[in-house]
């Protein structure tokens, strides 16, 4: 075999492996294609990376859910109530990568700053006027008052909040691109953790004192 032939063969092999890598890498960057029509979650089983094991026998009722109806009880400190439709309440969502919430506000009610680590959130105002805002990682606030029929989106993982600024109650329907988006509510996480965050960390973080931190912890104690 000549030197020219060897060089040509080496070049072809490099091109082949480069093409193979370009084909393989994108396939690893998204969810796998489902291998079945559905997989209604068996909540008695142990969840894995992709969700719960499949329920062995299903019926039509597994694909319908009435838990997003209201009204909800908003008589609490924040004046808000959330009714979730995620894989834990609606097992038919298992492996499908989506979920929804019904969110209702009393007048002046606030959904406190929080984040969803596993999902982007989109929502539409069904009733009332709601001030919606989210913060970027460089602390820029994007916000707007939106009304019935208007929609918002919060990028995945960013801190956001909603506040009912109307005179009456308000209602949102929100959707997530995760069957279980999770929610980290900042005041609960910082002042109501178990075990608690040391006071020294919180006093230095918020430029305050033990008395203030202890007072806040008492309001969010588990």
Q: C-alpha distances in angstroms, 101 versus 90, 114, 207?
A: 11, 15, 36
71: cis peptide before it, omega within 30°? Answer: yes
Q: Which of 111, 38, 45, 49 is nearest to 74 (CA)?
A: 111
Q: Return binding residues for Mn(2+).
A: 114, 116, 121, 160
Q: Return binding residues.
A: 101, 111, 114, 116, 121, 160
CA distance 67 to 88: 12
Q: Return binding residues for oxalate.
A: 101, 111, 116, 121
CA distance 41 to 33: 17
CA distance 35 to 107: 47
């Amino acid at each position: 075999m000549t030197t020219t032939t060897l060089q040509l063969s080496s070049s072809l092999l490099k091109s082949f492996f480069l093409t193979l890598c370009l084909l393989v890498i994108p396939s690893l960057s998204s969810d796998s294609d489902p291998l079945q029509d559905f997989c209604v979650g068996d909540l008695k089983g142990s969840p894995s990376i992709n969700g719960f094991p499949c329920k062995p026998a299903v019926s039509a009722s597994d694909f319908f859910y009435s838990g997003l109806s209201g009204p909800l009880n908003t008589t609490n400190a924040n004046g808000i109530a959330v009714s979730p439709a995620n894989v834990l309440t609606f097992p038919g969502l298992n492996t499908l990568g989506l979920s929804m919430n019904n969110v209702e506000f009393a007048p002046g009610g606030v959904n406190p700053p929080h984040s969803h680590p596993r999902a982007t959130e989109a929502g539409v105002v069904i009733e009332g006027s709601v001030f919606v805002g989210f913060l970027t990682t460089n602390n820029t606030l994007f916000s707007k008052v939106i009304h019935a029929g208007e929609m918002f989106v919060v990028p995945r993982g960013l801190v956001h909040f909603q506040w009912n600024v109307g005179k009456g109650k308000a209602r949102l329907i929100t959707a997530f691109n995760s069957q279980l988006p999770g929610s980290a509510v900042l005041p609960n996480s910082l002042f109501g953790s178990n075990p608690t965050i040391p006071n020294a960390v919180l006093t230095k973080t918020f430029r305050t004192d033990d008395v203030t931190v202890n007072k806040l912890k008492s309001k969010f104690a588990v």
